[in-house]
Homo-oligomer: A and B are copies of this chain.
Amino acid sequence: MELRRLQQSFDAFDEAAAARLGLNRTDLRCLDVVLAEGPVPAGRISVALKLSPAATTTVIDRLERASMVVRSADPGNRRRVLVAATDAARSAEAEIFVPVGQAGAQALRKYGPDDLAVILDFLRTARGVQEEQAARVRAVS
């Protein structure tokens, strides 16, 4: 299956990006969330990464030590800790992740509207199959 290889290539990219930044994969996913959603409470990261609150705390610790995020108190709710990306994180984003999006967009230009519709439909169909099968597997247990 060609999808398998695509999956592996995603994996390889993530690994390269993590190595480049001196982070592990979990930290990278966390950074991705923080970059995408602006300042987020720690609990939000916990659910996004499907990680226990305890593990989430240490992930944020590591990213903070690496100067990729900063913690700050939520003015509206002082129990909360807001995690925000630093400039270093944003420059890493610009250097590593933005070009992927650009290259992807560029690569898509060779397809006409009809082709793009087929591709999009395929992606959704494939996702539907995966989710359905995941549900089936979960159901038996």
Contacts and interface: CB of A to CB of B under 8 A. Distances in A.
Interface stretch (A14-22, A51-59, A83-91): A14-22
Interface of A: 1-3, 5-7, 9-10, 12-13, 15-17, 19-20, 95-96, 99-101, 103-104, 107, 110-111, 115, 118-120, 122-138, 140-141
Copies in the complex: 2
A6 to B, nearest CB: 5
Given A2-B120, A10-B7, A120-B2, A16 B126 contact: no
B118 A118 contact: yes
Given A118-B119, A137-B13, A107 B129 contact: yes
Nearest to A124: B2
